[in-house]
Structures are given as structure tokens and as C-alpha cells.
Amino acid sequence: MKIIKAKDYKDMSRKAANIISAQVILYPNSVLGLATGSSPIGTYEQLVEWFNKGDVDFSCVRTVNLDEYRGLDGSNEQSYRHFMNEHLFDLVNIEKSKTFVPDGLAENPVEECKRYDALIESLGGIDLQLLGIGHNGHIGFNEPSEAFEKTTHLVDLKPETIVANTRFFESADAVPKQAYTMGIKSIMQAKKIVLIVSSEDKADILKKALYGPVTPEVPGSILQLHPDLTVVTCGI
């Protein structure tokens, strides 16, 4: 595991974007696993800036996102599809048809999970996975539980996750109570993982995840077992 302590959020974002752009420059048809939340916004901004300068070309890149709220259409402003379009996909030369996010409106959740896993497999897995971490240690929406869930699944969001994500919605009631998330196996099979953590209030959970016991009670703790994990932090 490599840990990089950045000066501030901008520096963390630049360092994470550096790793991603190096991947894309070296391997133009990479499969990038992407994340949402406030942590990666600066990373995407930096990538867009470098794209505008002509330094990075996304035309052959494929992407798979970690998760999506169940019940939200991609055009809904709170959906993760909308987030990705707004912060990255609409701003660079990526082909939209090569960007994948679970379908929040899928009629059959079991089929949707199978479809998403088959899709990831058909892409040949993930080359580089960008991750944030929740206050309870969740990665994607893999919430604390009794066992690691290997494959894509539908999750009942924990009350603390609903509270944490209320800031993006009008009220706690408006936050969907379920979400689709990529499973731990797809995340752990990514060739490279970049975890970004930018707020002081995540210092405790980060310590547990990186140095505590590997347990599904702290889903991010599984990352200790990944052979190519880079953690970029600021303010911690």
C-alpha cells in the first residue's frame, strides 16, 4: 500500500488525477472504475482541465461506475448517472455509450445485478478503480454487514448513509433507501485502486480500514489485501 499525503483538497485531486491520466495515456482503452460523492469532484475537474489542454484523450476509455440509487432515472439530478455526466462525461471526449452505471430503474433487480456483473466481465474487468470511503467504512455502497458481498447487489442503505447523503437531497425522506452497488470481488479484482479521502472526520474510519482487522463490518478494510492500492489523503 502506498499512502500519499496531499497538502489540500486541490493537491489530493491533482495527485489522483495524475495517476488516472497516466493510466489513460499509457493504456488508452483502459476500463476505469469510477466513483461519486464529494471526494472525487476535484479529481474530475482536474482531468477535464488537462483534457481541455489536450493532455489526456478519453476517446477509447470505457468506464463502469460503482453504484446507483434504486428508483432514480439517469436524468434525475441526484442520480449518479447525472453526477457523472455533469462532472466528467459531458466535459471530455469520452463516448457515452462506453460509460456504464447500474440502471436505477431496472424492473428486475436480480437481473440487473447479473447484467452489471456480466458487463464488467465482458469489458475484461477494471484496470483502475477510483474509490472514496463512507464514514461507516463503506466502499461503493457495500455497507457494513456480516459478510463481504462478492457481486453486484441491491443494498438497503444504512441510516447513517442516508443521513450523510441527505446533503445532496431536499430532505432525508427524499434520499432513496436502496442502491445497486458493484460487489467487493469486482472492486478487488481491479488491477489498481486509488482511494481518496479528504476530510478530517474520516481519520478514524480510514485508520480502521487500513490498519484494523479485515472485516465486513468495515468494508473498506478489504483494501488492505489489494496488491496495488494507493491512498491519497488530505486534512488527515
Active-site residues, by number, are 67, 136, 138, 143
43 makes contact with ligand GLP (CB under 6 A): no
67 binds ligand GLP (CB under 6 A): yes
- Per CB under 6 A, the list member of 2, 22, 25, 38 interacting with ligand GLP is 38
Residue 36 binds ligand GLP (CB under 6 A): yes
* Among residues 132, 183, 219, 220, the one that binds ligand GLP under rule CB under 6 A: 132
Tell whether residue 133 is a contact of ligand GLP (CB under 6 A): yes
Residue position matching grid coordinates 489530493: 12
Report in angstroms how near the CB of residue 123 gets to ligand GLP at its nearest. Answer: 19
Shortest approach of ligand GLP to residue 54 CB, angstroms? 29
Part in contact with ligand GLP (CB under 6 A); list of ranges 14-22, 37-45, 49-57, 144-152: 37-45
Q: Is-contact 198 234, C-beta < 8 A? A: yes
Residues 6+ apart with CB under 8 A from 18: none
SS3 call for 49: helix
Query: Which of 51, 83, 141, 180 is in the footprint of ligand GLP by CB under 6 A?
Result: 141
Stretch that binds ligand GLP, among 32-40, 42-50, 107-115, 217-225 (CB under 6 A): 32-40
Contact call for residue 64 and ligand GLP (CB under 6 A): no
The residue behind cell 461507516 is 136
Main-chain dihedrals φ then ψ at residue 224, nearest 5 degrees: -55, -25
Does 51 bind ligand GLP (CB under 6 A)? Our answer is no
User: What own/partner pairs with CB < 8 Å and gap ≥ 24 does 83-87 have?
Assistant: 83/36, 84/34, 84/36, 87/40, 87/41, 87/44, 87/45
Q: Residues with Cβ < 8 Å from 212, sequence gap 6 or more?
A: 218, 221
| Helix 80-87 and helix 41-52, axial crossing angle in degrees, nearest 10 | 40
**By the criterion CB under 6 A, which residues form the site for ligand GLP?**
35-39, 66-67, 132-134, 140-141, 161, 165
